[in-house]
């Protein structure tokens, strides 16, 4: 199975790490941060939805999970 180009890593102190094709883009505290990082990297954010598993992989929680339990 082909890996999604965008990975939002598990929540931890300081947000969730976001990578695009393995390159670290930064730590996000909300979906808007993820979108901003992707736009800055030149990724077309208008062409996917947050639950499109072909393009984005959410590890240990989906787009509504931003803090550790």
What's this model's pTM, rounded to 2 decimal places?
0.91
Cα dist. 15→11, 27, 46, 58, 61 in Å?
A: 6, 5, 23, 13, 12
Cβ atoms within 10 Å, residue 67: 11
For residue range 27-51, list pLDDT tens digits in order. Answer: 999 999 999 999 999 988 777 789 9
* Tens digits of residue pLDDT in 54-64: 899 999 999 99
Q: What is the DSSP letter of 53?
A: T
């Amino acid at each position: 199975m082909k890996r999604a180009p965008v990975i939002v890593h598990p929540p931890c102190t300081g947000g969730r790490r976001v990578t695009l094709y393995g390159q670290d883009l930064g730590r996000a505290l909300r979906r808007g941060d993820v979108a901003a990082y992707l736009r800055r990297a030149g990724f077309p954010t208008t062409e996917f939805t947050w639950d499109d598993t072909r393009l984005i992989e959410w590890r240990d929680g989906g787009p509504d999970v931003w803090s550790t339990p």
